[in-house]
Amino acid sequence: MTLTQESAARETTLPSGTYLRYYEAGSATAPPVVLLHGSGPGATGWSNFSGNIGVIADAGFRVIAPDMPGWGDSDAVATQDMDHDKDLVALLDVLGIEKAALVGNSMGAHTAIRFATLHPERITHLVTMGASLGRGATSLFGAGDGPSEGLKVLVRAYRDPSPENMKALVEIMTYDKARFATPELTRARSEAASARPDHLKNYVEGLPLGAPIPIRVDRDKIPGIQAPALLIHGKDDRVLHFEITLWLLANIPDSRAVLLNHCGHWAMIEHAEEFNRLVVDFLSHH
């Protein structure tokens, strides 16, 4: 499928009045898959998943990748008012989707995990990559000393989304920085972030309140997740350690994990071909 950002772009308004941009491909009657982006400055449904949307749609799925409120072209929202679980329920309702597979990166993985604990009747599959379990959970088995190396770089880029800080961000998000931290990508991310100073301001002001995840999943409910789960993590992730995925593997009954060598925090970008193959196979056969 030849897919461009312009051809895939859609928009809607949630019952709350929140304007939401999303990207869509595939037949409206196909099994729905929702791709949930991470929290970095300049992150959108398109920037995180442009290499995945068309491929997964071509495999027979209806693919939806929203800009969650507080990111991209969707409405700004203050941290204290943010609840992506409610936003996701509202989006599914607006689109007439009873249940969907959820595929989330980082913050998006946290949203998917929490959704699976709160709305088991509305999720068919759970796929995470570089999963987050909320603030203070960058490594679950080690002592830790606050934000990870990658999260410190991410916050610095929110405070000043210059091309230099975006270059540092892309470098720490990926294993192969020579390939991915290109001047074109870092400039594009810088411009995208700078275009929404309201998003940047809300994130920085919300840090004391737990931004970007003010409401954390209840970990005691995770063993009750019944949806089949595919847990993907880069072995070289410097943002959120793969120990989180090992913990999820031990606690989600119907789960399997894939640990990717030479892979940072963006498995869906760095290893797009393998990621797409893993996700399509999992959604098709489990």
State mean pLDDT over 107-132. 98
146 falls in which pLDDT band (50, 70, 90)? low
State mean pLDDT over 238-254. 96
Stronger pLDDT, 144 or 116, i.e. the higher one = 116
Give domain 5-285's CATH superfamily: Alpha/Beta hydrolase fold, catalytic domain (3.40.50.1820)
138 has pLDDT over 70: no
State mean pLDDT over 83-93. 98
- Amino acid 143: pLDDT: 46
Contact 38, 130 (CB under 8 A): yes
* Catalytic residue of the set 110, 125, 241, 265: 265
State mean pLDDT over 150-157. 95
150 has pLDDT over 70: yes
134 has pLDDT over 90: no
State mean pLDDT over 162-191. 92
CA 120/CA 140 separation, integer angstroms: 25
State mean pLDDT over 62-90. 97
224 has pLDDT over 80: yes
Contact 128, 109 (CB under 8 A): yes
State mean pLDDT over 178-195. 90
Contact 212, 107 (CB under 8 A): yes
Q: Is 199 a catalytic residue?
A: no
141 has pLDDT over 70: no
283 has pLDDT over 90: yes
140 has pLDDT over 70: no
Per-residue burial over 232-247, b if 16 or more Cβ lie within 10 Å, else e, is: bbbebbbbbbbbbbbb
- Amino acid 2: pLDDT: 80
19-25 vs 62-66, strand pairing mode: antiparallel
What are the extents of the domains in the chain? 5-285
What rounded mean pLDDT belongs to the chain?
94
Give residue-wise pLDDT tens across range 11-65: 999 999 999 999 999 999 999 999 999 999 999 999 999 999 999 999 999 999 9
255 has pLDDT over 60: yes
**pTM score, two decimals?**
0.96
User: Across the beta sheet with 229-234, what order do the strands follow?
Assistant: 9-13, 19-25, 62-66, 32-36, 100-105, 123-129, 229-234, 255-260
